[in-house]
Amino acid sequence: MEPDMAEPLAERLRPRTLDDYIGQQHLVGEGAVLRKMIDAGRISSFILWGPPGVGKTTLAQIIAHRLETPFYTLSAVTSGVKDVRDVIEKAQKGRFFNEASPILFIDEIHRFSKSQQDSLLGAVEKGVVTLIGATTENPSFEVIRPLLSRCQIYVLNPLGKDDLLKLLHRAVTEDVFLKQRHIELKETGALLRYSGGDARKLLNILELVVEAANGSDDVVITDQLVGERLQQNPLAYDKDGEMHYDIISAFIKSIRGSDPDAALYWLARMIEGGEDPKFIARRLVISASEDIGLANPNALLLANAAFDAVQKIGWPEGRIPLAEATVYLATSPKSNSAYLGIDSALELVKRTGNQPVPLPIRNAPTQLMKDLGYHDGYKYPHDYPGHFTPQQYMPDALVGERLWHGQHSPAEEKLYERMVSYWGDRYKE
């Protein structure tokens, strides 16, 4: 088939095999879970969860091609229950005995209604189709539990710098149109920065910059040139024209930066753009935990209440609790000590492995465990003045490790001072 120049660069460069697929080596690299299933010729239903432009649709198409099985596609945005049933009926009629189940790929499965998902359930249970869903949203929020329990969840990551550079090099040397021109990637910092790990966005920007060269065969790409082109036409590299992830990013960063006016502006942009109110409300709950945290614990309560209110009252009134929570979070003092603390703890666990629980704080539900010394020496804090007494809670190998570092906002200062009074030098910064 002759390549179509009207087709976007991202489509022209879409990989056809796993060997050409860039990124996600934790899933498709040698010995990885998806690679093993594909090589074995049988896959079970799964959902690919990750940000835009990291290869969810491409991976589904490569799998279908590799397994040589019928491949049906539905978009959650444009398909209804009838479309789902029609595809299932086609799959049943077109399948031969003992042949692998046809693959049904559903893009943006998080936008499928409960009734649409219910209509899928029987076919997935009976193996009439193998479901591959793609979503940018946490499936545990948006996919019904019975369907979720029959699917594996695989997380795709934003592409790293090396992956993006590899993609750029492939574009200028292998694309049927770009390779006819002399394109020099003199600087790539702006291309990588604006792409945000999104391959589609990266290629859209590259295409925009090259097209703006007005047919010149010599194109030298610099950071300044990329910045100028995007300033002139900021929507051109976002083919949907929604800039969905850029706007939610601006919204959260405005809250984190304590600018309620900017936060309300970006909230209004999302509302006017038809954004799902639950999506906004979830981000407020995350922001309350990540950015306000212990500096004002009431922020999480208010964000949660806004989430509940939006679900109960819907639009247009739902904009009011969202605005209330937005202003409250933006004007609250900020702390990320809990966020940093859990990340430090996870890093420590990965580095040190499964350390044994000290005997005094182990559970001892049976006589044998009691005889073996489980729970011996445990001091019940409520039996001591101030409901506290020093004892070891960390594994032996990790005694003295500090994970939570109090930040000195007025509310958190009290927590920090209490820890110093309990533990002394251990908590003195």
C-alpha–C-alpha distance, residues 111 and 78, integer Å:
10
Neighbours of 366 (CB within 10 A): 10
- 170 burial type by CB count under 10 A (0-12 exposed, 13-18 middle, 19+ buried): middle
Per-position b or e across 22-58, b if 16+ CB within 10 A of its CB: bbbeebbeeeeebeebbeeeebebbbbbbebbbbbbb
**pLDDT for residue 9:** 84
**pLDDT for residue 329:** 92
Would you give per-residue pLDDT tens digits along the chain (429 residues)? 444 556 788 888 888 888 888 888 888 888 888 888 888 878 888 999 988 888 888 998 888 888 878 888 887 777 777 888 888 888 777 665 556 678 888 888 888 878 888 888 888 888 888 889 998 888 887 788 888 888 888 999 888 889 999 999 998 888 888 888 888 888 888 888 888 788 888 888 888 888 877 766 788 888 888 888 877 666 555 555 456 677 888 899 999 988 889 899 999 988 887 788 888 999 999 999 999 988 898 999 999 999 999 988 888 888 999 999 999 999 998 988 888 988 899 989 988 888 888 877 777 655 555 555 556 678 878 878 888 888 887 888 888 888 888 787 888 888 888 888 888 877 776
Tell me the pTM.
0.66
What is the separation of C-alpha 145 from the centre of its chain, rounded to a whole number of angstroms?
A: 19
Neighbours of 183 (CB within 10 A): 22
Q: Any idea of the CA torsion for 123, 125, 127, 132, to the nearest 10 degrees?
A: 80
